[in-house]
Amino acid sequence: MAQTYDDGYIYYPGLTAFPATLGHEFAGEIVEVGSKAINKRTSKPYEKGEPVTVEEMVWCGECKPCCDGYPNHCERLQEIGFSIDGAYAEYIAVPAKLCWSLQKLKGKYDNIYKIGSLVEPTSVAYNAVIERGGGIRPGENVVILGAGPIGLAAAKILKTAGAAACIMSEPDENRAALARKMGADYIINPQKENFVDMVKEYTDNEGAALYLEATGLPHIVTDDIQNAIWECKAVNSTVVIVARAEQRMPVCGEFFQVRRARIVGAQA
């Protein structure tokens, strides 16, 4: 075991240890099991050989946000690979409660650890568009700004959730090509095309139920988003802010009043 992670709080009896395959987004096979490490899949102790992926956030389970059901807003949050040692090691020990079994993926994918290591960014996107954004009803349109890992995962999730038109705004051609692979129906190049005009065209003036800001450039894209909301017919649009950024968003409240729209922040 190359490194041990022991935050000294409450986890000791629940330690599990397994070889890491990738960065802070990681997955692996369990090679050693603490005496009280319970597998959420089986409700029984973990067994060696179980493939798992691991939450990157180490939540305490004892502060008010944790007790209220918001562990990702833990007051004493540690992050594996950021505030504490990460998974670039032969072995890593983590609390069992952070582990989620990949057993069900066996036989469906060639490399479940590769898939498992994608759970973390996919979960960020899932939390953004499904939990925080409230999801969509099948047949509604969505617009995603930025085809980075989160935006791409969001495209896949929202197409799976039944998005009619999934529109991606992305100037980079390689990323745009990836977006198409992940299910985007239309690509807007915001450096060459008028964003609002294209949203109107692709949605038959209806607009989108959900706009995901995944560019990190809120000072640039906020006007595009709110003008699209304003000029299209849909009410009840949700704007989800998932990318981190220092810049402010110049929000025009009236657009959100008249179009019954809202803005939500999505933590990882």
Select the span of 63-71, 86-94, 113-121, 175-183 touching its own copies (CB under 8 A): 63-71
Nearest Cα to Cα of residue 125 among 220, 243, 226, 239: 243
Task: Please tell me whether residue 17 adopts helix, strand or coil conformation.
Answer: strand
Nearest Cα to Cα of residue 207 among 171, 249, 236, 241: 236
Q: How is residue 234 written in tokens?
A: 């849909």
Q: How is residue 150 written in tokens?
A: 């989160």
Beta strand 99-101 pairing with 186-188: unpaired
Residue 107 in the binding site for its own copies (CB under 8 A): no
The contact pattern for its own copies, residues 123-162, with x = CB under 8 A and - = no contact, is: -------x-x--x-xxx-----------------x--xxx
Binders of its own copies in range 16-45 (CB under 8 A):
36, 38, 40-41, 43
> Binding its own copies by CB under 8 A: which of 1, 4, 6, 13?
13
Angle between helices 195-202 and 218-231 (to 10 degrees): 40
CA atoms of 133 and 130, how far apart (whole Å): 5
Residue closer to its own copies, measured from CB, 174 or 238: 238
Q: How far is the CB of 81 from its own copies (least distance, A)?
A: 19
Residue 217 in the binding site for its own copies (CB under 8 A): no
Residue closer to its own copies, measured from CB, 173 or 204: 204
Binders of its own copies in range 72-91 (CB under 8 A):
73, 75-76
Residue 118 in the binding site for its own copies (CB under 8 A): no
